[in-house]
Structure 1
């Protein structure tokens, strides 16, 4: 047995391998919030090894939908240049062959970088990658985007006044030009070697919708990781890389308010990665500052 991988799942994985190959080790990877992510070391039978990554959703109602989206995205991206994503090996979206719904993919080199140091150099690299993602024209469009947060679900910290921001998202969503979306594009899902991106992972939320959804989500994460100004600077970098943004205030405020609902869940993997100062209280304060910055900077957006 391989520690951390169930008997049924291991048998399923090994059915995807060449006859002479065997899984010889497994190592849990950090960063997964909704899924268990494990790196598998495969002996190729000739003295060498290769890596695969197993993602399993445990007791997640949406698992089948998410894994179907991810598998579809990886198939779409397999023949696309400019977007580096894992290669799909196999998927069991309903958990019919594994203990849990699972997806098996190739392992990419590189690591997640969350440090403040070097963020200025990484920003345009992230922006260019996101522009490339939004330029993908799939043969079959993924499902349309869904936003679950509302004006009523925002979790306002004690002493904060977000009423003006909340009023922004009470309005109907503006019209948009549809794009191929990652839906969780942020530093925690991007692998780097130096200043070069070696992979974008976690495509379970792949959707079709406004580019602003991806840009605002990355901006919110950058604001929480590094400070409010970096959220605005990412939007500028995206446009400098050739991306187009419209109705920025609506989408950026919506994503920032949505982040308030999961601050503690977001902060945990960041602290596990070494950013111990990013406590829930710290992120709540940074989010409040970011929302204030968004409202103050509205004159610089394309909205009245």
Structure 2
């Protein structure tokens, strides 16, 4: 090991487990902590072969996280399903969902080139690319459906931001009191947003932005395309401003995607996701600040969420 920093070091049992899944003669020569995750520890492992060549793997570890075994099983199933589909997802190397061999539940996968891009610059070219990628994910037809989507937010758990438009939020909360609309099911990522999409680090030109990978498949599910579109819309609104949250569904339809026909149904899914983010604004925004978006203070993100929910109610309510 060349890096013994506590944040990057692999725990002994996990290290032995990883080593058992390497090719003959390979060894770990470097580890690096990857930032941006909310619930899991992420490490890039540089693997050296006897001939001097190297390759990278990614180790995902859940420490003291409830239902980690379920999340890792779902991610392993999704990565297996996506092999050969053309969706640029990591390849599964090994998984230990119940921590039978590792200190904590862990998953080992291939490393994909590229990085998330969270800057405002070039967003107008990235949004259509994101929409086309999400459409390709929804086009996957699994032989065996993953489990149905889950939403935990209720009218009673919504956290209305300080200074928010009280009338708009009350109306939005009333929207999710109703039963979920009927829908045609699709394969969903369930956390498709800029933080989980990798782009070419140095695209040849702004208009040539190219996705190199989509990561974090722990919540892969079966449900309405509207739900994935709504989530990406909310995150775009918080990252870049409410107008971009309103723009993304249009980009998805321009790419050929089909969303709910009725305005009331579209409103339900978009409001549901926006209100869900109200419960975890701090967890969502902290990785963005760590990645360099220091302008995204807690207050700024809350104000953008309020403006986005209000805009939804004005446009579709």
Report the Cα offset of residue 232 of structure 1: 1.0
Give 1:210's aligned residue. 224
Indicate whether 1:224 and 2:238 are aligned: yes
Give 1:45's aligned residue. 50
Give 2:40's aligned residue. 35
* Matched ranges for 1:70-109 at <5 A: 70-81=75-86, 83-109=87-113
Give 2:313's aligned residue. 295
Give 1:270's aligned residue. 288
Give 2:299's aligned residue. 281
Distance in 1 (CA, whole Å) between partners of 2:69 and 2:232 is 25
- Provide structure 2 residue ranges, at least 5 long, that are not aligned to the other structure: 204-208
Query: Following TM superposition, where does structure 1 have runs of at least 4 consecutive aligned residues deviating by more than 6 angstroms?
Result: none
Distance in 2 (CA, whole Å) between partners of 1:114 and 1:45 is 38
Give 2:206's aligned residue. none
Distance in 1 (CA, whole Å) between partners of 2:70 and 2:32 is 26
Give 2:66's aligned residue. 61
Q: Matched residue of 1:111: which SS?
A: coil
Give 1:192's aligned residue. 199
Selected match of 2:115 from 88, 111, 133? 111
Distance in 2 (CA, whole Å) between partners of 1:33 and 1:288 is 23
Report the Cα offset of residue 158 of structure 1: 2.3
Corresponding pairs, count: 298
Distance in 2 (CA, whole Å) between partners of 1:263 and 1:167 is 21
Distance in 1 (CA, whole Å) between partners of 2:95 and 2:117 is 28
Distance in 1 (CA, whole Å) between partners of 2:123 and 2:49 is 38
Give 2:187's aligned residue. 180
Distance in 1 (CA, whole Å) between partners of 2:179 and 2:138 is 24
Q: Matched residue of 1:26: which SS?
A: strand
Q: Matched residue of 1:159: which SS?
A: coil
Q: Matched residue of 2:288: which SS?
A: helix
Q: Matched residue of 2:278: which SS?
A: helix
Q: Deviations over 1:231-259 (max 9, x none)?
A: 11110000011111112100000000000
Q: Deviations over 1:262-286 (max 9, x none)?
A: 0001111000000001011110000
Give 1:302's aligned residue. none
Distance in 2 (CA, whole Å) between partners of 1:65 and 1:125 is 31
Distance in 1 (CA, whole Å) between partners of 2:23 and 2:280 is 42
Normalised by the length of structure 1, the TM-score is 0.97
Distance in 2 (CA, whole Å) between partners of 1:214 and 1:233 is 14
Give 1:124's aligned residue. 128
Q: Matched residue of 1:249: which SS?
A: helix
